[in-house]
Amino acid sequence: MAADSRSAILSAVRSAKVPPVDRPAAFTAGIHYADPALQFAESLQLVGGRCLRATTIADARAQLQATGLVTPERRICSLIPGIVSPTFHLDQVDDPHTLEDIWLAVLPGEFAVAENAAIWLPTDRIKHRVVPFLTQHLVLVVSSGEVVHNMHEAYQRLTLGARGFGVFLSGPSKTADIEQSLVIGAHGARSLHVVLCDEPAGAA
């Protein structure tokens, strides 16, 4: 029956008289900004996140400390060496369900998009891909030279097609389902800090 449905659908689709239309050329006329990093920071503020500009990882560490989020009595994990003091390592966790009480996760983002504050976050280096969604607070660290203007440039950079999971993440989790009142912290992270750091972050 399953095979029948497949061929029935494909033949119905094929027999539909649809005039041929050529594939359009890739759209490249996206907006450009004078200072994409500045635009990124402004876009991030609009979606409820905060951008920290840091020269070094040590500088980023001090700025994160000042946010008050780095509280050693709670569960903290990090894939960026030296930026916070983690209280546990993701690689030692087998069942993602035990991550329910993560307080803070610090993860590396690949690049940032100025027009909408999105960070491309591939999860191949994160053992449990649920971490950026389950953690109460999220910090993403992106190299300050890695800011593209718009989504067309973003997809030009990406090579999709290998097995894996990646997400464009823009701001903390939010909802406006109750009378259009914006509430930050729906199911996912309650806060998002993006560190644009001049010093490249080494992998943990």
By the rule CB under 8 A, 33 interacts with another protein: no
Q: By CB under 8 A, is residue 34 in contact with another protein? A: no
State the DSSP H helix or E strand holding residue 5, giving kind and residue range, or none if neither: helix 2-15
Cβ atoms within 10 Å of 94's Cβ, excluding its own: 9
Segment 175 to 204, residues that bind another protein, using CB under 8 A: 175-181, 183, 185-189
Residues with Cβ within 8 Å of 130's Cβ and at least 6 positions away in sequence, in order, are 96, 99
Applying CB under 8 A, which part among 58-66, 67-75, 84-92, 152-160 lies near another protein?
152-160
Q: In what order do the strands lie in the sheet with 102-108?
A: 50-54, 191-197, 137-143, 102-108, 75-78
Residues numbered 94 to 123 that lie near another protein (CB under 8 A) are 96-97, 100, 115-118
Coil, helix or strand at residue 135: coil
For another protein, the closer CB: 151 or 204: 151
Q: Taking CB under 8 A as the rule, does residue 157 contact another protein?
A: no
Q: Does 38 bind another protein (CB under 8 A)?
A: no
In the complex, minimum distance from the CB of residue 42 to another protein, in angstroms, rounded to a whole number: 11
